[in-house]
Structure 1
Amino acid sequence: MPLSPPAPRTARHARRVIYQGFEREDGLWDLEGELHDSKMHDAPALRGGGIRRAGEPIHHMWLRVTVNRVLVVQAIEASMDTHPLRECPQARAALQTMVGCTMGRGWRQAIQKNLGGVASCTHLRELLFNLATAAFQTLPAAFASADADEPPRHLGQCTGWDFNGAGVKEYFPQFYGRA
């Protein structure tokens, strides 16, 4: 069901983010994110002066993270087709510090530790944060637990998968009611 109609308003900014996951023939998985920011009106361009026309990107970048079946980062690369400042592409080098990190518990902390502040780019960090969700949706084993007595990682992480909720009771009854 869509949201109820808002009061009259004028669109000023648009951000589109797309995530995709791919299985590779070599047993690894590629997770890709694309971010596109634009203004809905003509505005001054920071780099090069002049005017950036409505709809032209301020940021347009891609990120690819290759993981193994247990979500350990094997490789990472980024492309920045459009960026507001000349120095922005320098932020890509720091991404290599994420190789060896796991897209699981502690993922956001690893991003902040390795890429926080001026070490990298706010927009690349944002893409990385949610790339883990795409990984969990892509890899069949991501929801599984190695220990049959341990609940899958996604249980207890949202309202729908509340240990005391109907979803767990129906699909994972062995963990229903567990704190």
Structure 2
Amino acid sequence: MPLSAPAPRTHLHTRAVTYQGFLREDGLWDIEGRMADTKAYPFDMEDRGHMPVGTPIHGMAIRVTIDDSMTIHAIEAVMDDTPYGECRAGEDPMQGMVGASLGPGWRQAIEKTLGGVRGCTHLRELLFNLATAAYQTVYPWRERERRLAGEPKGEVSEPPYHLGRCIAWDFEGPVVRRHWPQFAGWQPLRRVPQTGT
């Protein structure tokens, strides 16, 4: 369903972001993110001069190689188009993310390693949502393989990470009751502080 008809307007800017996931022959996964910023009008930049319509201000890509546990084995970043030549210094610090996991604490790991002047704002933005693309790549494929092999769904003692993090995956909702009935109405254990005797 499309958005409603907009008010009269003029197109000025486009940020295009894409993510792709690949299963490698060695059993690892490559998740790639690409981002480009363009203007719908010509303009001048102090460091780059005249910018015709559609010339990328930002044009960058990241490839993260992960295993089934979502741990990063390798990372590569390229910045083909940047506002300033100095921006490319943001490529090398990305190596600090090797060994991190694209799971709980992902955004904190990015901020700790690449936050502020330690990294590039736009590469960080690409990394934030790369975890979702990885999840959408790895888990559905592994589930498909399990089903094709006729394997039963494994026993799970804790709710999968995505449960309780979206309106559709509400522990009190119908989707959880249908797909993860053992976690319908689930509440995390609340630890009671120990008092001395």
Which deviations, in whole Å up to 9, do the C-alpha atoms of 1:123-173 show, x marking residues without a partner?
A: 1000000000001100027999x8611111111110011111111111111
Aligned AA (1:161): W
| Number of residue-to-residue matches in the alignment | 178
**TM-score, reference length from structure 1:** 0.94
Alignment partner of 1:43 is 2:49: no
Matching of residues 154-169 of structure 1 within 5 Å:
154-169=162-177
Q: Which has the larger radius of gyration?
A: 2
CA contact (8 A) 1:72 1:102 kept: yes
Which deviations, in whole Å up to 9, do the C-alpha atoms of 1:21-64 show, x marking residues without a partner?
A: 00011111000000010011111123232x20111110111100
Contiguous gaps of at least 5 residues in structure 2: 144-153, 188-197
Instruction: Identify which of structures 1 and 2 has the higher relative contact order when contacts are C-alpha pairs closer than 8 Å and 6+ apart.
Output: 1
Contiguous gaps of at least 5 residues in structure 1: none
Q: Which residue of 2 aligns with 1:103?
A: 102
Q: Which residue of 2 aligns with 1:21?
A: 21
In 2, Cα distance between equivalents of 1:28 and 1:155: 26
Alignment partner of 1:5 is 2:5: yes
Tell me the secondary structure at the aligned position of residue 163 of structure 1.
coil
In 1, Cα distance between equivalents of 2:21 and 2:105: 21
In 2, Cα distance between equivalents of 1:174 and 1:46: 60
CA contact (8 A) 1:75 1:99 kept: yes
Pick which of 135-144 and 26-35 moved more: 135-144
For the aligned residue pairs, the C-alpha RMSD in angstroms reads 1.9
